[in-house]
Every structure is written in structure tokens, then in C-alpha cells.
Amino acid sequence: MKLSLDEIYNIFINSAGISIDSRSTKNGQIFLAIKGENSDGNAYVEDAFNNGALYCITNRTELLDDNRCIIVPDTYQTLVDIAKMHRKHFSIPVLAITGSNGKTTSKELIAKMLSTKYNVLFTEGNLNNELGLPLTILKLNKTHEIAVVEMGAAKLGDINFLCEIAKPTHGLITTIGRAHIGRFGSFENIIKAKTELFDFLKKHNGLAFINEDDPILKPFAHSLNTIFYGRNNPNTHVSNIAAQPFLSFEWNYNDKNHKIETHLFGDYNLVHTLAAISIGLYFNISPENIVKAITEYLPTNSRSQIIYNDKNIVIMDAYNANPTSMEAALKNFFSIPIDFFYNKNTAIKPKKRAAILGEMMELGEYSHDEHKNILNVVNSYNPDLAVFVGDNFYQFKDNYPQFQFIPNTEELINFISNNPLSEYIVLVKGSRANALEKILPYL
């Protein structure tokens, strides 16, 4: 059957929500068939009904006579249109977070903090793209008091597109680095793409949280409603910063010092923590609850996790990587004395360092120079062992005989199985495509 958008939306609000995966569709949900790069959801309409779908939104015109099937020309556009319509029904604050590094960590910290006072809807996992964001918006209900949505970008216009769906009232750009520079074409285009969030906030009288220590982002404040944060800002003034190996610092607010000991590896996470503190204060979270939320936050999903086993200590930071985050992780890893990694609850006392690094994706014409730069950075630290994975590193194998070069993760597993590591501190970092977390059982 064919229905108007208003009729489709009315069905949606009386359903159990929308699913785009026929395998996980639940009773009472609407299955929306999306055609992706590798599969076409339209082929799984019958499976969705078997799993309890109430309706299916599809472009399969041969199902026109099935009153359970809503036939539309473009299923993805229908998803976007429903999400935009749904967003209009809510006047709550919507905080959008984008940036080259730290989006998910910032989102998780902020959501945990705000949840001490409010019912918060926030992006699950890394669902921050053109599919994940509208699905997140469609989860808004009348009990929610604030929403925190993560926005990723792979090209110019992506952030603006997502803003038109989420209609953020507040925004945070974590950092701007060289992530996906191959897609954007230049660093200037990365800045332009990320600051599309600021453009939207300016146009709609929104509020931006800006790191006053960031020379790239600070100049944008002159045309925005802005809350500043930074190391020396009165609200986020910090001292005694350490990362041995977890980030810790003292935070002074209203002439009272708060000691904050995080479970975040690396002092490069300080900027994300300060953003969370600033946003927490703005939304009237008490200093005590801010400290509690930051202290209790445990990173997951291969994001700066420190894992102890009976052979090695592994810093698993394999969720993603770009030149900026890779350099920061290496600097932090090699600057900390080995004994600071020791844990009183484990007998293992490593004596050597190993870096296992996966190639960085989507760097385009900059890939050769960026990967060579990382090799030179690692070489400057003179590690006990360095292993580089993927074709973008492998091309340099004859130039750096002191390092190990492996074409892919499967062969990396074979290498480690045949050359087991023991008594090492191991940094594992690479782009998502490397799936380096697969090597954890072998470390």
C-alpha cells in the first residue's frame, strides 16, 4: 500500500520502533529496508515479518497489495523524513558532538554525567552516521529530558546534513585533526566540514562549547554563543596532571579542589574530560556528580583499554586511528616509565615495550607521507619491538629492517603465535579496518 508521510509517521508512533536489520526485528516493530553496499534490505522483507514485524517499508512494488507493506520510492529518504518529523515534537536540549578524535569518549563521559540528573538519550556505540543518527532521533520519547548525539563526517556537507535531522541546540567539536584527509582533500576542508556544526548553531541561535586552548577552534567563537573551557579557564582550571598510566588531575571549582582519577589512558584525553566538565556545569550537574561520573567511566570496545593477563600488559586502542591520534598515543606510551603500568593485583612485571600498529585508512594522497612519518616517530623511541600491519606500512619494509612488517591481521596472528610475546607492555592501535582486537587472545 501507499501512504502519505503523515500516515507513515502515525504508524511509527504507534509501533515499537523502527529496525533496519531483519534479523533483530522484534514484535511490533517496523522493518525499514535499506539498500547498502553489500546487501539489500528489500530482500529480507519476508524474514522481518517472520520475526514479528508489524509493517515493512520497502520499494518492492510487487508487494503493493500486501497491506503490511508500505511502498515508497526511496526507503532511506523516508527514514530521514520520519526522523525530521519526529524531532519537531521535542523541545529538549540536543547536544551534538563531532570532531576528529575523542567523539565517542566525550559522548560517553557527557552522557554518564548528565544521567546523574536527567533522563538522557544518547548515541549507542558508534552509530554516528547517516543511518545511525536518524535511528537515534527516532528513539526519542516523552520521558527524555536531553539528547546527546554523535556525528561523524566523511566528506563536506555530512555534518550539515545530520544537523538538519537532529536540529542540535548545543554543540561540541572535540578536536580537528587529519582523520579521513584523503576523502576531504585537505586539512582546510576538514576544518570546514567539522565547523558545519558551528554554522548550524550560529544560524539557529544555538550554543557552542569551545576549547579556548585550541588555536583552530577558538577563532570561531567570535560569531557564536559560546561557553569556553580549558586548562586555565575558571570553571575547568586543572593542575597536577598525570597519566601513569591513567589520566589523573586536580580540578579547582569555586575555590575547592577535586581530585579526579580516571580510567582513561593518556593525557591526550584531558581535553575531552574538560569538555565534559564544562557541559556538566552548564546543565547544573553538581561538582560531586561530575567527579563521580568521570571517575567511574570505564572505556570499552577497544578504546584505550588496559588489559592485564598472565603474560603481558596490553593497551588496546584498536577502535580507530588517524595520524593525530596515532602520534598522541605513541608519545604517551613511550613517555611513561614501564613500572607505572604495573598493577598490584597482577604478578606480571613487564620489562620491554612493543608497539603493534595497523595502517591508517582514508588518507588518500597523504597516505605515503603520513605512514612514513609514523615509522619515523616510532623509530625515534627505539622500541624493543615494533610491528606494522597493512599494505600502507608494508610498502616500507625494505627501508626499516629494524621493524616487523605484516600484510594483514590474519598473518599477524600467525606471526605472534610463532613468536609469542612475554613480559611486554604492548600498545595496539590501528584503524577499524585492521580489526586488531582479534590478536588479543594471542597476547
Tell me how far the alpha carbon of residue 361 is from its chain's centroid: 16
Cell numbers at 112, concatenated: 554518564
Q: In what order do the strands lie in the sheet containing 256-265?
A: 237-243, 246-253, 256-265
**The residue type at 399:** N
pLDDT of 126: 75
CA gap 153, 145 in Å, rounded: 26
CA gap 257, 270 in Å, rounded: 17
pLDDT of 266: 81
CA gap 431, 362 in Å, rounded: 10
- Among candidates 334, 338, 336, which has minimal Cα distance to 348? 338
- Among candidates 294, 315, 268, which has minimal Cα distance to 102? 268
Could you list the beta-strand ranges (E) of 124-224.
146-150, 170-173, 207-211
Number of residues that this document lists for the chain: 443
For residues 427 and 333, the answer to whether their CB atoms sit within 8 Å is yes
- Among candidates 180, 218, 215, which has minimal Cα distance to 198? 218
Q: In what order do the strands lie in the sheet containing 404-406?
A: 305-308, 313-317, 424-429, 352-358, 385-389, 404-406
**The residue type at 249:** F
Q: What is the pTM of this model?
A: 0.82
> Average pLDDT per run of 10 along the chain, which is 443 residues long?
94 95 92 88 91 93 90 96 97 96 91 97 88 96 97 91 98 85 79 94 97 95 94 93 87 94 87 96 97 90 75 86 88 85 71 93 88 95 94 94 94 94 92 87 90
pLDDT of 302: 58
pLDDT of 345: 60
pLDDT of 361: 86
CA gap 25, 49 in Å, rounded: 9
Cell numbers at 365, concatenated: 594522497
pLDDT of 337: 83
pLDDT of 51: 92
- Among candidates 381, 265, 248, 267, which has minimal Cα distance to 316? 265
